[in-house]
Amino acid sequence: MPQAQNEDRKKTPKDFYFMKIIGEGSFSTVFHAAEVENKKEYAIKVLRKRHIIRENKMEYVNREKKSLLSLGGSEAASRFFVHLYATFQDADNLYFVLTYARNGDLLDHLLRHKTFNIKWVVFYAAELLLALEFMKSKKIIHRDLKPENILFDKNWHILITDFGSSKIIGESDVIKKGDDTKSRRRRNSFVGTAQYVSPEVLHGEETTYASDLWAYGCVIYQMISGQAPFRAATEYSIFQKITNLDFTFSENFNLSAKDLIEKLIVTVPENRLGALDSSNYDSIREHVLFEETNWDDLGPAPVLSED
């Protein structure tokens, strides 16, 4: 068979060695895999069709694919996202062939180090901001930004993953018949993870890019203190704390970071720093936390396994 045809042909599970389970979701399992032909490594997300259909989750699967494809271009900022290389299916499963993030996720490293030094915080807060700017340029709200969804590539740069909860602005939330709810237009029902969810998402109000800015503030807080800002024994108590903006800073909390977080974890979405910026998040770029950041070249990433 000629080479070109060979490359274009749809892959099948037989084209990969499935090695180890590296992640598990409610209707998917992620494997570390290698392509048989060239030994290239990937993360393959295997989504169980029966489960997706039973739970009416096809819309989420489609969104994840669409968002990943939209973020996966050749632009420089595409480097901050897991890339979707191929999709295929068999009778039981859908398969997403994704970038393999060799250095694990932010949550693991936070648990191991307890807290990050301020240089690491500034570096990763800056990479995250560039990623958020790029998502906005592609009209994508992630809606589930959290340390588990921030992975690291082999050079310790971030790779944002899990766009199953994402929303593409301009596309209505119209659900096909039989999907998800009986109503034709879904309210912005709660998606995401309790600890990082913004008040507007929690209360079923409209989600905007500023919902990701709330989560961004929560992630910066957690990189500094080792813990999410809103913590409680039950999901209900976490939601109450979010609604009441009930969070505190330790006495030794870095003051510049505290100032930025207080401007991001703000109840009214439009009042969050950056919410009214037109394209880039210039008002966040200009914050004192980033006074030594060169936005055109953030420099080498810290190596989190070394300190």
Active-site annotation, residues: 144
Q: Which of 161, 188, 193, 222 is close enough to bind ligand ADE by CB under 6 A?
A: 161
Q: Determine if 194 is a binding residue for ligand ADE (CB under 6 A).
A: no
Region of 92-100, 127-135, 262-270, 281-289 interacting with ligand ADE (CB under 6 A): 92-100
Task: Please state whether beta strands 93-98 and 41-48 pair in parallel, antiparallel, or not at all (unpaired).
Answer: antiparallel
71, 101, 122, 197: residue in contact with ligand ADE (rule CB under 6 A) = 101
Residues facing 263 on adjacent strands: none
Rule CB under 6 A: is residue 22 a binding residue for ligand ADE?
yes
Question: Taking the complex as a whole, how short is the minimal distance between the CB of residue 98 and ligand ADE, in angstroms?
Answer: 5
Contact between 65 and 47 under an 8 Å Cβ cutoff? The reply is no
43 is a contact residue toward ligand ADE (CB under 6 A): yes
Q: How far is the CB of 29 from ligand ADE (least distance, A)?
A: 10
For position 23 contacting ligand ADE by CB under 6 A, the verdict is yes
Q: Which of 46, 47, 84, 151 binds ligand ADE (CB under 6 A)?
A: 151
Q: Which residue, 30 or 135, is less far from ligand ADE as judged by CB?
A: 30
Is 52 a binder of ligand ADE (CB under 6 A)?
A: no
Binding of residue 82 to ligand ADE (CB under 6 A):
yes
63 and 51 Cβ atoms separated by less than 8 Å: no
CA distance 199 to 84: 31
Stretch that binds ligand ADE, among 93-101, 189-197, 204-212, 263-271 (CB under 6 A): 93-101
Q: Can residue 30 be called a binding residue for ligand ADE (CB under 6 A)?
A: yes
Binding site for ligand ADE (CB under 6 A): 22-23, 30, 43, 82, 98-101, 151, 161
